[in-house]
Amino acid sequence: MTQIDQRTNDHTNILDVIHRLRDRNALFVINHSGGKDSQAMTAFLRKFVPVDQILVIHAHLPEVVWEDAWDHVRATSNGLHSIKVEASKTFFEMATRRGMWPSPKYRQCTSDLKRGPIEKAIRTHLRNNPQYGGLVVNCMGLRAEESPRRSKAIPLKINERNSKAGREWWDWLPIHDWTVNQVWNGISQAGQNPHWVYAEGLSRFSCIFCIFSTETDQQISARLRPELYRRFVLKEKELKHTMNMQGRGMEEITGIPALPDVIARPDASAI
């Protein structure tokens, strides 16, 4: 392997490294949520990575994501090998077992329901496809302008934890320095449309109710998916723990009460 910097923020240097990894027949894995950033990242990668070196992986979270997320991933990844993975437990089961919701500090929803199943699928795919020589570039659509925390993320680095058993594993954020306008342009230049929830006013495509949702996004989601909203409200009451870290319940945040007749229904609180 050519010796190169293992952590770098220099985007010109990064593309040089990426081209060398591509030329070594690395497998490029696209972590695709169905959101605009994943979609723009996919269109970007298609421009210079051969199709047979791309694998799209979508982590599905039953019940709590937009039901057509996987359809949207497949439709916008047309011609690419795409797979859907799922954890052995659901979001609600995880919260019930822990007696609390995940939080920005302890994001078990991401680590257990998304990252874990995706990494397992990558390891299996590498084992079953020796042509990649165990070399993988794991691509995620995080962008610096999304949050101060994300702005500090290293755009390209070796993943030491997963670089073992013959694997050389890189983590790359291909659109880390993109603005939101570049993302929308990337989608439209690919001749595609983003998922319909953006037209409803949602700022992010994530779980329908995410621990990072803004108040406005929660209100929109509550109106679009009232049954699921009620289920979250009921679970908050059962756990005596709010999704919001400042202790504000969803009803207080949205100003939308969960209807009493629905709360009284015996099956409404079922996991």
47 or 152: CB nearest ligand SF4: 152
CB of 36 to ligand SF4, least distance (A): 14
CB of 126 to ligand SF4, least distance (A): 25
CB of 26 to ligand SF4, least distance (A): 26
CB of 66 to ligand SF4, least distance (A): 11
Tell me which residues touch ligand SF4 (CB under 6 A).
102, 107, 109-110, 113-114, 206-207, 210-212
Instruction: Report d(CA 139, CA 12) in Å as an integer.
Output: 17
Cα–chain center distance at 3: 31
52 or 215: CB nearest ligand SF4: 215
User: What are the φ/ψ torsions at residue 39 (nearest 5 degrees)?
Assistant: -65, -45
Enter the tokens of residue 86. Answer: 């799922």
211 or 234: CB nearest ligand SF4: 211
Enter the tokens of residue 194. Answer: 């983003």
48 or 212: CB nearest ligand SF4: 212
Instruction: Report d(CA 19, CA 16) in Å as an integer.
Output: 5
Helices 36-46 and 69-76 sit at what angle, rounded to 10 degrees?
A: 20
CB of 207 to ligand SF4, least distance (A): 3
CB of 102 to ligand SF4, least distance (A): 6
Helices 36-46 and 180-189 sit at what angle, rounded to 10 degrees?
A: 60
180 or 211: CB nearest ligand SF4: 211
Q: Where does the chain show beta strands of DSSP type E? A: 7-8, 27-31, 54-60, 81-86, 135-139, 156-158, 168-172
55 or 109: CB nearest ligand SF4: 109
Cα–chain center distance at 184: 18
Helices 91-98 and 226-239 sit at what angle, rounded to 10 degrees?
A: 10
CB of 182 to ligand SF4, least distance (A): 22
CB of 206 to ligand SF4, least distance (A): 3
Instruction: Report d(CA 37, CA 146) in Å as an integer.
Output: 11
34 or 186: CB nearest ligand SF4: 34
110 or 185: CB nearest ligand SF4: 110
Cα 254 to Cα 4, 24, 175, 239, 258, distances in angstroms? 49, 51, 32, 19, 10
Question: Which pairing describes strands 7-8 and 27-31: parallel, antiparallel, or unpaired?
Answer: unpaired
